[in-house]
C-alpha cells in the first residue's frame, strides 16, 4: 500500500500557501484553523522563548490570522 503525504489543495496546485507568520508561500506546514503555518515558523513557535520579541511578533501574526475581521 502506498503511503501518501497529506497535502493541501494549494500545494497540489504547486502554488503553495501563504504562511501567516512569515507571509511567505510554503508547501509544508500545519494548519491552524484556516491559516497556514510553514514548518520553519512552526519550529520557531516551539523553539522561541516567550520572552523573545520574536515570539511576540509570532503571536501577533497568529492573532491576526485566527481572528478574521468580520464586518457583519
Q: Where on the chain is the footprint of Zn ion (CB under 5 A)?
A: 19, 21-22, 38, 41
Closer residue to Zn ion in complex, CB, 13/30: 30
Q: Minimum distance from CB of 64 to Zn ion (Å)?
A: 13
Q: Minimum distance from CB of 51 to Zn ion (Å)?
A: 21
Closer residue to Zn ion in complex, CB, 3/7: 7
Closer residue to Zn ion in complex, CB, 2/32: 32
Between CA 1 and CA 16 the distance in angstroms is: 27
The residue written with cell numbers 512552526 in the block is: 42
Q: Minimum distance from CB of 1 to Zn ion (Å)?
A: 32
Between CA 29 and CA 62 the distance in angstroms is: 14
Q: What residues form DSSP beta bridges with 29?
A: 38
Between CA 10 and CA 36 the distance in angstroms is: 11
Amino acid at each position: 500500500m502506498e503511503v501518501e503525504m497529506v497535502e493541501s489543495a494549494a500545494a497540489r496546485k504547486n502554488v503553495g500557501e501563504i504562511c501567516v507568520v512569515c507571509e511567505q508561500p510554503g508547501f509544508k506546514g500545519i494548519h491552524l484553523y484556516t491559516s497556514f503555518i510553514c514548518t520553519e515558523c512552526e519550529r520557531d513557535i516551539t523553539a522561541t522563548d516567550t520572552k523573545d520579541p520574536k515570539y511576540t511578533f509570532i503571536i501577533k501574526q497568529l492573532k491576526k490570522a485566527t481572528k478574521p475581521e468580520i464586518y457583519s
